[in-house]
Amino acid sequence: MVGRSSEFDRIDRFLKPLAAGFQGALGLVDDAGVLTLPASQSLVVTTDAMVEGIHYLAGEPPDRLARKLLRVNLSDLAAMGAEPYCYTLTLALVPDVEDSWLAAFVAGLASDQAAFGIHLLGGDSVSTPGPTVLSVTAFGRVENGRMILRSGARPGDAVLVSGTIGDGALGLRVARDGVPGLDAEHVRFLAGRYHLPDPQVQLGQALPGLAAAAADLSDGLIGDLGHICRASGVSAVVEADRVPLSAPARSMIALDARWRKVALAGGDDYELIFTARPDALAAIQAVAEGCGVQVTVVGRIVEADGQTPEARMIDAGGTTLKGLDGWQHF
């Protein structure tokens, strides 16, 4: 069968090189990998899957797709304050997938393995009539008791975000539908932020002991802050005017003010949202500068006051903005 490999050939040709040099992967010749940790460290484990046609389009370049798959998982590790370590890969592929597609997919993985210092530990490859389903389980390391949880927010905490908000959501519209009148450089920036997020791996590792609670932004600012609120039993108020927007996002909003709500709802930024006691803010600004990352206070944690914990965003007049609750896949 020209241009296609059997499952075992595939593992040999495409996946084994990704595990080379990482002892725990056992050369992918066993059906399992092995990890050892010093007693002072804990292992953080996270899983994210992507389905063709739901989370990405069929024509997505496979190298970029592979990198995004890794990065959305690395973003979860960053939110816990963990150092990236290794990952397992589960591929449900259509039988007629070309070796050239696999080669590009693997090249993307190899590139980000090097960029983020992670290794392939193992995985499984199965056949499906389609759509393709790609899943990564990522492993990070953190000193015992130092991981940042969603449940640590307390009334009086500041709410902060890294980077700029809304670029991913706007970038999806730019990439999928086009936005007439938008500067070509801004098109590239926004589409790039959607296609290939830049997880805050370095900042995340600097936050244990400084951040009280954290999540990564995959369901939108209010959606993900809502997860923190429910886990912590608190509520949160975010001021829309304090949410940091990139210059390209501001340009797009200048073309049509309705894009502002898309930006504020967000959904695919893979920035960090976190809370901190006020006395930690100066230290946080210092470590963020050290990472070359902008962090911005956008709101505060308040008592839930017997109500269901919730996150909300208010405009300059104090009115709550509606319809920003984040994406639900179903």
The greatest distance separating any two alpha carbons of the chain, rounded to the nearest whole angstrom, comes to 66
Least CB distance to its own copies at residue 39 (A): 4
- Shorter beta-carbon distance to its own copies: residue 35 or 103: 35
Asked if 100 touches its own copies (CB under 8 A), the answer is no
* Stretch of 25-33, 103-111, 292-300, 304-312 lying at the interface with its own copies (CB under 8 A): 25-33
Asked if 71 touches its own copies (CB under 8 A), the answer is no
Asked if 42 touches its own copies (CB under 8 A), the answer is yes
The residues, any chain, with a CB within 8 Å of residue 275's CB and separated by 6 or more, are: 152, 153, 154, 157, 158, 159, 160, 211, 212, 213, 214, 228, 236, 301
Strand ranges, E, within 101-212: 119-127, 133-143, 158-162
Among residues 37, 103, 247, 254, which is the contact residue for its own copies, using CB under 8 A?
37
Tokens 């990352």 belong to residue: 293
Asked if 131 touches its own copies (CB under 8 A), the answer is yes
Least CB distance to its own copies at residue 181 (A): 34
CA 109 to chain centre: 16
The residues, any chain, with a CB within 8 Å of residue 33's CB and separated by 6 or more, are: 24, 25, 26, 86, 88, 121, 122
Q: State the number of binding residues for its own copies (CB under 8 A).
A: 67
Report CA-CA distances (Å) from 202 to 154, 185, 198, 287.
25, 27, 11, 10
Asked if 225 touches its own copies (CB under 8 A), the answer is no
Asked if 127 touches its own copies (CB under 8 A), the answer is yes
Helix, strand, or coil (residue 330): coil
- The binding site for its own copies (CB under 8 A) comprises 4-8, 26-27, 29-39, 42-51, 53-55, 76-77, 79-80, 82, 88, 90, 92, 95, 121-124, 126-129, 131, 133, 135, 137, 140, 142, 144, 147, 149-151, 215-216, 227, 230-231, 328-330
